[in-house]
Every structure is written in structure tokens, then in C-alpha cells.
């Protein structure tokens, strides 16, 4: 085959038309003209464009954190405060560390080297290495002068009261945003609004010039709670002792100011330490006084008696025959633990007779009982703003059968929270009216609330409740030296899987001093398992301890002679279940 000589190719001998050469030259000259014109325009007439592009490479708008507001008790004692901390962050592209540097950094931050390398190997422009470090530790990290490693000022929430105040205050997350309790309920007021400023940074992310402040931060507002730190500590301490003594699963105590409706204490167990955020999960976080419901048992009997008095069905001393200690309604039978015979209405409450309470209930219309329970706040959340707050269970009256009306008279077939129960007893501690309960301190307490019972009815039931803590009643262990006390025990089987289990809730709600009620204390002990489970044996002593300490802390004057308590040698009457 004859070789081809490319220099002799006929294509090379072809001549291009003259107009094509001129066209290419004109196009090239035009393009150069456009570029020169664009350059003159950008540099001479519209130099803001290039300035913007340059600033975009070096200028940054950074947030200025707002300091979260403090939470204090009613006397100004600090319960939650934000403390300055530092966070270590990195630009992964710049953080090219040697193995030795990575080991030094991981050792300082208590990190696994592989975890550190994973973070620094990210394709993101920004990554946190470790957050919320003490400032001195952050300075030690920065002293290593590692490429691409930087620090940032932040805040971390600190709770001086630890686990004592945990369920009331809640806690914040790593971004200093409320997650539980007051921190979440009042997050909008506490958080404030972050500000911003414009700065010049070099390519390594270091601020080299502070250009201007665009928006100053709006600091969070302080919250003053109704809580009294000393009363809260008393409630927590005595509740803890009771749970240990009776080997109980859980418990709660609520203390209300009967005159203003303010919440002076709210304690739950088990609890947690909000300063240690490693294991903030599970049942320990539940604010049981607001999220857990239970059948209140005999603590509801005074309301049944109050409605009967209010409607004129009975008087304080009206006799009720409870013999032979049981009562059959349809296919179900209601029992008293002891046969009491004929009791007055007051004695039905004093000795906690199920048969007597059922007879009072059946003398009234179911609709009237439902309206009363509803007006007391049962069946609906109290709307305090706490996360997870529930309203309990109050079934529609149309579904009630006679046996259900009878059992609700003594607290079965209805469920409430401890906070709802405490609030309902305001009607007896006051003159029949209910004031809204408050988490925040009130500078001007409400004078009157919503009327539920007449003042006369409230005073008569108050006398019945005082009888219940005297010898012959169910709660002589609730007595306090120097003070007249009124209250009611409750013991109920727990519902599990729709059936009653051989487990109990022991409760007591009461107030003092009876002559001019100042405090309401509600106690609930869940599953006591050390041999005793009646409210008068388990919950009433906690009430007495918390109430006695709180009255003395607040300087409430005694209203009874200082004499030995009349416990007598007999056991308290056990309330019916």
C-alpha cells in the first residue's frame, strides 16, 4: 500500500473564503470589546458588585447569644442561671492534623481518636468538635494552636437545687432551649432574642476586624416563681424518707397557698439531676403530680357530702344506716371493712364509710354530681403550661349506671392528678370558692374565685375533715402539735390492664390551720410494699411532717394549745377501698 503524505492533502490546498476570515476577526474583536467594556463598567461605574463579592469571601454575620433569664423562687433565691461556657468547632477542610496532634486534642476533650477523625473528615464547612466546655479547658485546647480548630462562646444552664427542684424547673438542651418544666413552659420569656454583628474573618476563620453591630441581643427575662425553696426542700426530703421506709415505687407532694392558689412546692420521686444531662430519659423525667392519674379513693367522699349538704338532701348530723356493712346494686356489692351501723353524715366522712357515701350519692341526680366534678376541675387539664399535663378521666354522665354513680362517690371509676386533687380542696380550705393555681408569684392575690359550694357548706365539710384526723377517724397520724388540722385519707387499688391489681395508691389531702387555712398539702405514695398501704398509715405522716415544717417556716401562728397529740392506743380507722 502506497503511503499517504499529509502535506499533499487536497484539503490543505483549499482556500477559505475571505469573508470567513473577516467574520472571525470581527467576532474576536467584539468579544474583547465586551470584556473591556464590562471591566470598565464594574470598576468605574458599578464597583459595588466586586465589593460585594469580595466582602462575601471575608465578611460574616455572626450571632450574639442572648443571656437566658434567671429563674428564682418567691424570695429571690436563684434556682436556674446561665453560666458562660465554650464550644470547640472546626473547619474540616482546614483541620489537617497530624496523628500526634489528633491524639493530643482527643485526650484534652476526652474523645475517642476515631470519633475525632470522623468529625474532622466531614465534608461540611463547619462541625462542632465538643460543646459546653469550661472556659479554662477551651483555653488549653486553643493553646495547642491547631489549624482549623476554633472556639465559640455559649451558655450552659446550672441548677443549684439539683434533683430537689428538677420536676418543677425542668432543664434546657445543648442549644439552651427549654425541654421540660418551667424552662419549657416559660421558654419564650426566658430565652430572649439573639443579636448579630458583622465581622471580617481571614481564611482560617479568625475574626480580624469587628465591622459593626447589626442588632444587639435582647436578654431573656427573669421568672419569679411562687415556689418557696425551703418548703420545696421539706416536701422532697420527707417524701424521700417515706418512699425508702415503705419501699414504694414512686410518690408526689404538692403544697398550695390556700389564700392565693400559688404553688409553693412540687416534689416527685424518682427524680433526676438536671445538671447531669447524660441520662435524662425515662420515667425519672415524669412530673407525676401533673402527668400521672390515679383513682383518688376516699379523698373524694367529702365532695359527695358537700353536694348533698348543698342540695339540702342531708344535714351535718343526719343519720345514715350503713348496716350490715354492705350494699348491693344490681350485680355488684359495695363493702365496708367494718360494720358501723348508724352514722351521721359527719361520721361517714370521719370513718370513711363506702356504704354511707354511696347512699348519699344515690340520693342525688347523676347530672348534678357530674357538674360538681367538672366545676372542681376534674376531667380537664389545669392548663398550667407544663409539658405532658393531663386532665384525668371523668366519663360522660350519659354512660353512668347506678353502680358507677355510687362508686364515684368514694373515688372509684374516676381518675385525677395530684395537682387537680390539691386544687379541688381549695373549695374546703376557702369559703367554697376556687381560685386559679399559679406557678408564678402573685403580687396581688385574688380575693375571690369561682364559687363551687356555699360558705356554710365549706365550713361544715371542714369540720368533718377535722374529725377525720382526730381519734376515731382514719388519720390521727396527720395531727400536728399546736395546729388544728383537717384532711382526708384515700386508699385505692391500682388499675393494670383494665383490672384491679393487688397494688395500692395511698393518698392524703389536708389543710391547716383550720381556724384560718393557709396551706394545702396533697401526698400520693405509689405501690408501698413494706406491709402498710393505707393512706392513714403511709401518706398521712408525710402530710404532718411537710405541713408542720412549712407552717413554721412561713411563721404561721398556732391555733391550738400546745399539748400531746391524741393518738390513743388504738389503730386509726382504716378507710374503705
Residues spanned by CATH 3.40.710.10 within the chain? 229-275+284-553
List, for residues 263-299, the tens digit of each pLDDT value: 999 999 999 999 987 777 778 888 999 999 999 999 9
What share of the chain in percent tops pLDDT 70? 87
Phi and psi dihedrals of 151, rounded to 5?
-125, 160
Phi and psi dihedrals of 231, rounded to 5?
-65, -40
Strands 71-72 and 223-224: parallel
Q: Which fold does the domain 58-88+152-225 belong to in CATH?
A: Penicillin-binding protein 2a (Domain 2) (3.90.1310)
pLDDT of residue 13: 64
DSSP 8-state assignment for residue 294: B
Q: Which of 65-74, 308-317, 517-526 has the lowest mean pLDDT?
A: 65-74
Listed residue (208, 269, 201, 198) closest to 240, CA to CA: 269
Residues spanned by CATH 3.90.1310.10 within the chain? 58-88+152-225
Q: How many CA atoms lie within 13 A of 421 on its CB side?
A: 39
Q: Residue holding cell 367529702?
A: 302
Across the chain, mean pLDDT equals: 87
pLDDT of residue 399: 94
List, for residues 298-342, the tens digit of each pLDDT value: 999 999 999 999 999 999 999 999 999 999 998 899 998 888 899
DSSP alpha helix (H) spans, 165-228: 166-169, 181-185, 187-191
DSSP string, 435-474: PPPBSBPPSS--S--EE-S-HHHHHHHHHHHHHHTSTTSS
List, for residues 159-211, the tens digit of each pLDDT value: 999 999 999 999 998 888 899 999 999 999 998 887 766 656 555 555 545 55
pLDDT of residue 288: 92
Sign of CA dihedral 312, 316, 322, 325: positive
DSSP string, 146-176: -TTEEEEEEEEEE-TTGGGSHHHH--B-TTS
Listed residue (538, 524, 539) closest to 494, CA to CA: 524
Q: Which of 49-58, 296-305, 419-428 has the lowest mean pLDDT?
A: 49-58
**417: how many CB neighbours lie within 10 A of its CB?**
29
Tell me if 528 sits within 8 A of 247, measured CB to CB. Answer: yes
Which positions are annotated as active-site residues?
298
pLDDT of residue 569: 46
pTM over 0.85: no
> How far apart are alpha carbons 39 and 135 in whole angstroms?
50
Tell me if 455 sits within 8 A of 449, measured CB to CB. Answer: no
Residues linked to residue 218 through DSSP beta bridges, in sequence order: 193
CATH architecture designation of domain 229-275+284-553: 3-Layer(aba) Sandwich (3.40)
> Grid coordinates in use for 548?
408542720
Tell me if 519 sits within 8 A of 551, measured CB to CB. Answer: yes
Q: How far is CA 250 from CA 167, 297, 422, 499, 546, in A?
A: 13, 18, 18, 20, 17
- Checking if the pLDDT of 12 tops 90, the result is no
What share of the chain in percent tops pLDDT 90? 58
Strand residues in 390-530 grouped as ranges (E) = 433-434, 450-451, 486-496, 499-512, 519-526
Q: Residue holding cell 354512660?
A: 399
Amino acid at each position: 500500500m502506497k503511503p499517504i503524505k499529509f502535506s499533499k492533502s487536497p484539503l490543505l490546498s483549499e482556500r477559505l473564503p475571505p469573508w470567513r476570515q473577516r467574520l472571525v476577526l470581527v467576532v474576536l474583536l467584539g468579544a474583547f470589546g465586551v470584556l473591556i467594556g464590562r471591566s470598565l463598567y464594574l470598576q468605574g461605574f458599578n464597583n459595588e458588585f466586586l465589593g460585594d463579592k469580595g466582602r462575601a469571601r471575608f465578611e460574616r454575620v455572626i450571632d450574639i447569644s442572648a443571656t437566658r433569664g434567671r429563674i428564682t423562687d418567691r424570695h429571690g433565691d436563684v434556682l436556674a442561671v446561665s453560666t458562660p461556657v465554650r464550644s470547640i468547632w472546626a473547619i474540616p477542610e482546614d483541620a489537617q492534623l497530624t496523628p500526634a496532634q489528633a491524639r493530643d486534642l482527643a485526650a484534652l476533650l476526652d474523645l475517642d481518636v476515631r470519633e475525632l477523625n470522623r468529625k474532622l473528615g466531614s465534608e461540611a464547612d463547619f462541625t462542632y468538635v465538643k460543646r459546653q466546655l469550661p472556659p479554662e479547658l477551651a483555653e488549653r485546647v486553643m493553646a495547642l494552636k491547631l489549624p482549623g480548630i476554633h472556639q465559640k462562646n455559649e451558655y450552659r444552664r446550672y441548677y443549684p437545687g439539683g434533683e430537689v427542684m428538677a420536676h418543677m424547673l425542668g432543664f434546657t438542651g445543648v442549644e439552651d432551649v427549654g425541654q421540660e418544666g418551667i424552662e419549657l413552659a416559660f421558654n419564650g420569656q426566658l430565652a430572649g432574642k439573639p443579636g448579630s454583628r458583622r465581622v471580617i474573618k481571614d481564611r482560617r476563620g479568625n475574626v480580624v476586624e469587628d465591622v459593626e453591630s447589626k442588632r444587639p441581643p435582647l436578654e431573656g427575662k427573669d421568672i419569679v416563681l411562687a415556689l418557696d425553696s425551703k418548703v420545696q426542700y421539706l416536701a422532697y426530703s420527707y417524701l424521700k424518707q417515706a418512699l425508702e421506709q415503705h419501699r414504694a415505687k414512686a410518690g408526689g407532694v404538692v403544697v398550695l397557698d390556700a389564700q392565693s392558689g400559688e404553688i409553693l412546692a412540687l416534689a416527685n420521686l424518682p427524680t433526676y439531676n438536671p445538671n447531669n444531662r447524660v441520662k435524662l430519659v425515662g420515667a425519672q423525667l415524669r412530673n407525676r403530680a401533673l402527668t400521672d392519674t390515679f383513682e383518688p379513693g376516699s379523698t373524694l367522699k367529702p365532695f359527695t357530702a358537700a353536694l348533698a349538704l348543698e342540695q339540702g338532701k342531708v344535714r351535718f348530723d343526719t343519720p345514715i344506716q350503713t348496716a350490715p356493712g354492705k350494699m348491693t346494686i344490681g350485680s355488684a356489692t359495695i363493702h365496708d371493712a367494718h360494720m358501723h351501723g348508724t352514722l351521721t353524715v359527719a361520721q361517714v366522712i370521719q370513718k370513711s364509710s363506702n356504704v354511707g357515701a354511696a347512699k348519699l350519692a344515690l340520693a342525688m341526680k347523676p347530672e348534678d354530681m357530674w357538674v360538681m366534678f367538672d366545676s372542681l376541675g376534674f376531667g380537664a387539664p389545669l392548663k398550667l403550661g407544663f409539658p405532658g399535663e393531663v386532665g384525668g378521666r371523668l366519663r360522660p354522665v350519659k354512660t353512668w349506671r347506678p353502680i358507677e354513680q355510687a362508686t364515684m362517690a368514694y373515688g372509684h371509676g374516676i381518675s385525677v392528678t395530684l395537682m387537680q386533687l390539691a386544687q379541688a380542696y381549695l373549695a374546703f380550705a376557702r369559703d367554697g370558692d376556687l381560685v386559679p393555681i399559679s406557678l408564678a408569684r402573685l403580687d396581688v392575690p385574688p380575693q375571690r374565685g369561682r364559687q363551687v359550694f356555699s360558705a356554710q357548706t365549706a365550713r361544715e365539710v371542714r369540720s368533718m375533715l377535722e374529725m377525720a384526723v382526730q381519734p376515731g377517724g382514719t388519720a390521727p397520724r396527720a395531727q400536728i402539735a399546736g395546729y388544728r388540722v383537717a384532711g382526708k385519707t384515700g386508699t385505692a387499688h391500682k388499675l393494670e390492664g383494665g383490672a384491679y391489681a393487688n397494688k395500692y395508691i395511698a393518698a392524703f389531702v389536708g389543710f391547716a390551720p383550720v381556724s384560718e387555712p393557709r396551706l394545702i398539702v396533697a401526698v400520693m405514695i405509689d405501690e408501698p410494699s413494706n406491709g402498710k398501704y393505707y393512706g392513714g398509715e403511709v401518706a398521712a405522716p408525710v402530710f404532718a411532717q411537710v405541713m408542720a415544717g412549712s407552717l413554721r417556716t412561713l411563721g404561721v401562728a398556732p391555733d391550738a394549745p400546745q399539748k400531746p397529740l391524741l393518738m390513743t392506743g388504738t389503730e386509726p380507722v382504716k378507710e374503705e377501698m
